[in-house]
Amino acid sequence: MLAIIGWLSLGLIKWVFFQADWRVVTENINLYTFGSYPQQEKWRISLWILFLSGLSLLTLLSPNIYKFRKPLPFLWIITVPLGIYLFSGGFGILTPIPTRYWGGLSLTLILTLCSASIALPLGIILALGRRSDYKLINSICRVYIDVMRAVPLIAVLFFGQLLIPLFLPIDFEVSRFVRAALAFGLFAGAYVAEDIRGGLQAIPLTQYEAAAVLGLTPGQTLQLIIIPQALKTALPALTNQAIGLLQNTSLMAILGLVELLGISRSILANPEFIGKYLEVYIWLAILYWFICTIMALLSRQIEHQLNPLKSFK
């Protein structure tokens, strides 16, 4: 087995450094990053990606940078609205840019964050509703979760992109980006709900009893004791959902949004780069692996801060 692995590794190294034509990546790096975003406005995307990268670095180094630990949650919260404003512009300050010009890595990242911002609160509400003593609320949440988990994601995306406009007034238009974010968020919310429900079930009844003894109301008990512990328990599963959400954004290439996979398909259609499939898809694999690894490291860092006495590798 070692001999076979060594032979394959030597062949791969030979191909990567001596046979592969990486011009298909180097000459299109701006296209991979910004899509067809206007050249004079690309600084807005660069600023947001730089902000996101710096925030991720601060989070990973936060045990050694104590003065940044308190504002980090607030900075993560404003990441999505800041990104949407920089991407779209408006308010008489930045030039408005329609979503049809968004693309590449920047679209993948903003779509993932927007979808996660919808899925997490929706999942918490559904998980609490499924454990509710009110049969109507319990049944609605149960049916929603079961239906969403039984329907393929691509069907939900097609519904969001093609069928939703049929139910809207003729003069009312919702951009493809908004429809995609809603479809991803509503779909992922059902899976997030089950992860959080597992976290809720792991909380012993003594926690509720202790909260009642302290005089906390049911709302305060959920807000201050139950939900934080459930999220902490469900964090590894939620990280898997976030990584899967990032990878599933590649399905939008089928529906016309030119994220990373859509950009790659358009580049491969260029006569100059026809046949460079292996270089393009290896580059995409490395890029997705890098982003997913950063997400996993961020999750481990948060888990370590929530469980400072628990050692893990």
What are the tens digits of pLDDT across the range 163-214? Answer: 777 777 777 777 888 888 999 999 999 999 999 999 888 888 888 888 888 8
Q: Which among 149, 133, 140 is positioned nearest to 194, based on CA atoms?
A: 149
Indicate the length of the chain as a whole number: 313
Confidence of residue 150 (pLDDT cuts 50, 70, 90): very high
Q: Is the pLDDT of residue 289 over 90?
A: yes
What are the tens digits of pLDDT across the range 101-121? Answer: 888 899 999 999 999 999 999
pLDDT for position 109: 93
Question: Are the C-beta atoms of 263 and 27 separated by less than 8 Å?
Answer: no
Query: How high does pLDDT run on average in the chain?
Result: 87
pLDDT, greater one: 2 or 66: 2
Q: What are the C-alpha distances in Å from 160 to residues 100, 121, 176, 208?
A: 16, 20, 9, 40
Question: Are the C-beta atoms of 39 and 46 separated by less than 8 Å?
Answer: no
Q: Which residues contact 197 (CB under 8 A, 6 or more apart)?
A: 127, 130, 131
Q: Is the pLDDT of residue 313 over 60?
A: no
Output the pTM of the full model.
Answer: 0.88
Which domains, from first to last, does the chain contain? 23-306 (1.10.3720.10)
Question: Are the C-beta atoms of 235 and 132 separated by less than 8 Å?
Answer: no
First and final C-alpha spacing in the chain: 27
Confidence of residue 68 (pLDDT cuts 50, 70, 90): low
Spatial separation of the C-alpha atoms in residues 145 and 102, rounded to whole Å:
31
Question: Are the C-beta atoms of 274 and 268 separated by less than 8 Å?
Answer: yes
pLDDT for position 94: 86
pLDDT for position 63: 66
Q: Which among 44, 55, 153, 54 is positioned nearest to 102, based on CA atoms?
A: 44
Q: Which residue has the tokens 């779509």?
A: 111
pLDDT for position 51: 94
pLDDT, greater one: 108 or 252: 108
pLDDT for position 303: 82
Q: Is the pLDDT of residue 77 over 80?
A: yes
Q: What are the C-alpha distances in Å from 240 to residues 109, 245, 292, 296?
A: 16, 8, 10, 8
What are the tens digits of pLDDT across the range 36-58? Answer: 889 898 999 999 999 999 999 88
Q: Which among 264, 295, 263 is positioned nearest to 280, based on CA atoms?
A: 264
Q: Which residue has the tokens 């202790």?
A: 210
pLDDT for position 205: 86
Spatial separation of the C-alpha atoms in residues 107 and 59, rounded to whole Å:
23
pLDDT, greater one: 307 or 211: 211
Q: Which helix (H) or strand (E) holds 3?
A: helix 2-14
Q: What are the C-alpha distances in Å from 200 to residues 128, 130, 224, 262?
A: 9, 11, 13, 39
pLDDT for position 121: 94
